[in-house]
Structure 1
Amino acid sequence: MVITDEDELDAFWDIARAHASLAGVPVYTGENPFRTLRPPSWAFGSTPEQADELLSLVLDGTKTATASSCADYAKEGEQLPAPRTLSIVLDGSGHPRALVVTTHARVVPFDQVDADHARDEGEGDGSLDHWRAVHERFFDEHADGGFLPDMPVVLERFRLLYPTR
C-alpha cells in the first residue's frame, strides 16, 4: 500500500470531525481530545484492489462489519478495537476516504462466527458459507500463524460517520 501523506490525513480529519460533530463545545466541556487527536488510519484487505472494493461497500452502506485475526493485533502490538473507537479508512492508494466508529467488538473462534456477522460484512452473497470460504483463504495467506478453524477472530461492527467520494 501507498504511505498516506500526514498532511492529507490531517486535512481529512479536520473536515470529517467537523462534519461528524465530534469537536464539542470547548467553552462548556473543556478541551475535547477529538479536537487534537487524529484516529488511526487503515485499509481493508491486503491489496489496493481489495481495499477499494471493500471501501466501496462501506460507502454505499452495504458493509457495516469486518473481521480480522486476533493474532495480527498481538503481533503488531495494537489494541483490539472497542466501542466508540474512531478510524479513518483509506482507499487502495492510501488516501483517506471515510471516518467510521466502532459500535461493537468481540473475539470469537473462527468456527463460531454467525450468519448475522457474515451478512453485515456485505461481501459476495452475504452467506456464512461465502464468508467462511473467503476468510479462510484470506487468513491462510495473510494472518500471523495462518488459518486454524478455531483461531480467535476479532469481529467488529461499525457505523459510517463521514464519507468522501
Structure 2
Amino acid sequence: MTNDIEDLQETYPGAGTFRFGDSAELCQRLIALVRQGKKTATCGAASDFDDEPEAMPVVGRCDIAANWDGTPALVIRTTKVETVRFCDVTEEMALAEGENDALVGWRKDHKAFFKRNGEYDPEMLLIFEHFELVEDLAGREL
C-alpha cells in the first residue's frame, strides 16, 4: 500500500490520506456515494484536527480517500471548508453529504456517529468540507 500512496503523491503532491466513516461497511458505502456523485461533502469534529493540524482540509488540495484496508480508492479536491456548529448545519450542507434525504436524518446519523467516537455536543464545532471527485482509482494500475 505504501508504494501505491507514494506513486499517487507524485501525481498529487501534498495529498493526505484518510478514510470515510468509522467501519469497513460505512467506509465502502460512503466511497460508493462519492463514485455515484451523490456525496460531495464530509465533516469531522474540529477537535479531531487538534493533534493533526496537517490533516485539516485545504481548499485546492487533493487528498486520497482510502478503502478500509488502506488501499487508495479515490482522489478528491477540496473546494470549500467551513467551521460550523453541529446545530447550525443546514439542510443544504446535510444533503451534500449524500447520506440522507433530509436534515433530520443527517442529525440522527451524525449524532450516533459522534457518540460512537466519544464526542457529541449539539454545539460542537465541525469542519465541513465540500469536495469534487478528481479520480476514481478503482481501475487504475498503481
Provide TM-score, normalisation by structure 2.
Answer: 0.89
How far residue 77 of structure 1 moved from its aligned partner, in angstroms, is: 4.1
Q: Which residue of 1 aligns with 2:88?
A: 112
Q: 1:138 aligned to 113, 117, 134, which one?
A: 113
Q: Which residue of 2 aligns with 1:84?
A: 60
How far residue 78 of structure 1 moved from its aligned partner, in angstroms, is: 3.8
Whether the aligned pair in 1 keeps the contact of 2:77 and 2:132 (CA below 8 Å) is yes
Whether the aligned pair in 2 keeps the contact of 1:50 and 1:92 (CA below 8 Å) is no
Structure 1: where are the runs of 5+ without partners?
18-33
Whether the aligned pair in 1 keeps the contact of 2:74 and 2:137 (CA below 8 Å) is yes
2:133 counterpart of 1:160: yes
Structure 2: where are the runs of 5+ without partners?
none
Q: How do 1:40-119 residues align onto structure 2 when only pairs under 5 Å count? A: 40-119=16-95
- Cα distance, 1:134–1:82 mapped onto 2, change above 3 Å: same
Provide TM-score, normalisation by structure 1.
Answer: 0.78
Which structure has the bigger radius of gyration? 1
Q: Which residue of 2 aligns with 1:7?
A: 3
Quote the RMSD (CA, aligned, Å). 1.6
- Between Structure 1 and Structure 2, which shows a larger proportion of strand residues? 2
Aligned residues: 138
Between the aligned partners of 2:56 and 2:75, the Cα distance in structure 1 is 18
Deviating above 6 A after TM superposition, structure 1's stretches of 4 or more consecutive aligned residues are none
What is the aligned-residue identity percentage?
A: 28
